[in-house]
Amino acid sequence: MGFKSKSEIVVESIIFNGRKYNRYPNSKNPAHRRYFARAGARLHRDVWEFYKGQIPEGYQIHHIDEDTGNNDISNLECLPRRDHRAKHHADYVARGRSEQQLAHMARINHLAKAWHKSEEGREWHRQNAYASLHGPDTPKPYSKSHYTGVCEWCGSAFEAKSPKKLMCSTPCVEQKSKYLRGRSRYIHPHYAARLQSDS
């Protein structure tokens, strides 16, 4: 594989605060085409920190007019990562469906499958699955701890995903159903007391 000579490389440069930032309009790397950068830093982030101070963890700098060449401080805003990604959602979708990206995915698809089936890939999934399900701020869709109720048949406390659940177990559901349909004379004392208090 050959490399382009310096005369073939297109470079755009900007000087800010005594430092030179470059971007490469013909680069295969989208980030190199879009952003002015120097080793270890991007211009829009350095501009923000020069005028506004340190960028909080979990925040990103957004170009308000979406022109990444316009790095004036008036065109920059500091947003939480989630909000920033939401503003670029359409871009991410379009990029994912581009011919270049689809061709890239076709080239690496078999490699990705092989890695996910490898011991290294399985171990990565085990570790990240545990972290994603057991993080302190992570909702747990498998958990029954979203709602605490009292079984209307036996009076026992129980946890469920929804307040629509009225009984703690299948046996309680079946016993109440048999009683209401006249197939059993047994009525739990708790349910009997409820009926009496409601009458």
pLDDT tens readout for residues 120-157:
999 999 888 877 776 665 555 555 456 788 999 999 99
In DSSP terms, which residues pair with 41 in a beta bridge?
38
Q: Domain map of the chain by residue range?
A: 9-80, 99-134, 147-198
pLDDT at 75: 97
Burial of 44 (0-12, 13-18, 19+ CB in 10 A): buried
Rg (CA), the chain: 30
Q: What is the torsional sign of CA 118, 119, 124, 126? A: positive
For the stretch 24-83, pLDDT in tens is 999 989 899 999 999 989 999 999 999 999 999 999 999 999 999 999 999 999 999 999
Q: Shortest CA distance to 74 belongs to which of 91, 85, 61, 87?
A: 61
pLDDT at 40: 85
pLDDT greater than 90 at residue 1? no
